[in-house]
Amino acid sequence: MRRLRATWTALLERIRTDPRVRLFRQAWPSIARTFTNAFRVVVGLPRLAMARRQVQRENWEGVIRVLAPHVQREYPLARSARVLVSAYGKIGDFDAAYLLADRLARISRQPNDIKRAESLRGRVVEVHPAWLPAVGLKRPELIERPSERRVLYLAKESAPYLHNGFCTRSHETLRAVKGTGTEVVAVTMPGFPAVIKVQNAPDEVTVDDITYKHLLPNAHLSGMAVNEYLDLSATALARFVLEFRPTVLHIGSGHRGFETALVGRAVAEWYGIPWMYEVRSFFETTWTSDKRYMESAPYFHQRHATEGRCMAAADYVVTLSGPMRDEIVEQHHVPTDKVTGIPNAVDIDRFSPEVRDEDLRAKLGLTGSKVIGYVSNLSHPREGQEAMIKAVPLLKQMGIPAKALLVGDGARKPELEALARKLGVSDDVVFTGSIPFEQVSHYYAQIDLFVVPRTNERAGRLVSPMKPFEAMAMDIPLLVSDLPALVEIVEDEQEPRGRTYKAEDADDLARVAAHCLNDEAGTQQRIRNAAAWVRRERTWSANGKNFVAAYEQAERRFAAKAVHA
């Protein structure tokens, strides 16, 4: 027995000291990983292939069912995880997307994975209930307050670089407020106008006696995570606040709605002045164009809740229409006496009845046609131009020589052109592309029936657009989809100002359009009603006094809050 034990001990010692054995032991972990990964390839790649087939079908829940239970242990983790992160993003679960993206970034250490994780973290942080942008400046201990009201208006973008509805309302509001004798200056968010490819922009521009200050106008900031961008924005705005010394902040909605309000709130609380939130739209659905998730995703609810917190924190809230005010009161639980509506309006000097330019009509190929038209961007599905295109062949079947005129440009133009080709009406649907602002009225004048074909989507239902008022001021008859914000514009029991059709229903659009085009007496009466109403109740100059009254409300509430603090 002793001899056997000695032999066994000697054998073990020989094995332990054998260089070949030592080499094998050192290499074994790598060998084991190779075999394990090879096994996981056999198991994991078919599952990844299954997930990619679901991606092709845009079945994001299917992708998650296939990958989520296995992505942590199956090879290749990186490829599977990237597909899964994307699927979580598609359904608006950015919390899950960030957690997985962060783990992937720590494992892969790939720059693109790290950047994606940082971007997703920004989305998660900015809608967190406890988060506000950080003002990276020390607040002065002694602040000299101006004796007169001085308004600082924060906007996401502005003239003269853009002439969309947002910038038009901002500019006309500023002009109207200044017309009351109130000192007012506008500031744009950092990185504008560089974000729209404008180079070498000055720090300050004056348009029609309105001064626009551009914060970091030539900085390219689109690659920043949104929370970092808002921290930067708060600091940049605070620096200008110290220079301008406003008595009240007026905050317009940002690209996501609430982000300008977060910045405005942070700076107002830091500086100790009242702030007013002008809710221009409801942007909770704009994170996606997929109707399956627009109003049901976790991210939708997070954005909705963040908007509500901003409205609750503001000293006063202004919005555009009755349906928007009702939404703010009923869904965001803002007290009725803290919110008011100041509607969109029209500059009746710029938009007034105009003699039709027959040369332009011929150039557009509209001579001899009845033209249904719309002036809007071609970027957001909400605008619903598809219904107008589909209505053209239906009107032709009714014997009406109809054509559609779509004034504007945007990312969806190729898609809309393809639809016109598919329906065989390419020659009957005219896309003008981008038109200089000063020429837009000439294109309005080509339209026999102005159609607002917005779809049944949250902002479409609630947000009042500006274009119908411009059409009314130019004596152009109006047909709108039957959404509350649009019905409010045209319906009046005593003096109807336009007609409605069932939203997203091209057949009904064609039916009502045919009636409008054939009913000359009724159409002319609605034109007269609309023109009188818009000149009486929808002018920018009338809005100026209403905004001053809103500032007074914000100041009063701020003072009362300070007393009870």
SS3 string, 320-370, reads: CCHHHHHHHHHCCCCCHHHEEECCCCECCCCCCCCCCCHHHHHHHCCCCCE
Query: What phi, psi does 284 have (nearest 5°)?
Result: -60, -25
Instruction: Give CA–CA dist 275/273, Å, rounded.
Output: 7
* Residue in the structure block whose two tokens are 């960030």: 98
Q: What count of other Cβ atoms lies within 10 Å of the Cβ of residue 518?
A: 13
Which amino acid, residue 415? Answer: E
Domains of the chain: 2-126 (1.25.40), 150-341 (3.40.50.2000), 358-538 (3.40.50.2000)
Instruction: Give CA–CA dist 179/155, Å, rounded.
Output: 19
Instruction: Give CA–CA dist 418/420, Å, rounded.
Output: 5
pLDDT tens for the chain, 565 residues long, are 666 676 767 666 665 666 665 665 666 566 555 555 555 555 557 788 888 999 999 999 999 999 998 776 544 578 889 999 999 999 999 999 999 999 999 988 999 999 999 999 999 999 999 999 999 999 888 888 898 999 999 999 999 999 888 999 999 999 999 999 999 999 999 999 999 999 999 999 999 999 999 999 999 998 899 999 999 999 999 999 999 999 999 999 999 999 999 999 999 999 999 999 999 999 999 999 898 999 999 999 999 999 999 999 999 999 999 999 999 999 999 999 999 999 999 998 889 999 999 999 999 999 999 999 999 999 989 999 999 999 999 999 999 999 999 999 999 999 999 999 999 999 999 999 999 988 999 999 999 999 999 999 988 999 989 999 999 999 999 999 999 999 999 998 899 999 999 999 999 999 999 999 999 999 999 999 999 999 999 999 889 999 999 999 999 999 998 777 6
Reading the block at residue 248, the tokens are 């009240």
Q: Does the pTM exceed 0.95?
A: no
b/e burial code for range 466-482 (CB count within 10 A of at least 16 → b): bbbbbbbbbbbbbbbbb
Instruction: Give CA–CA dist 226/259, Å, rounded.
Output: 9
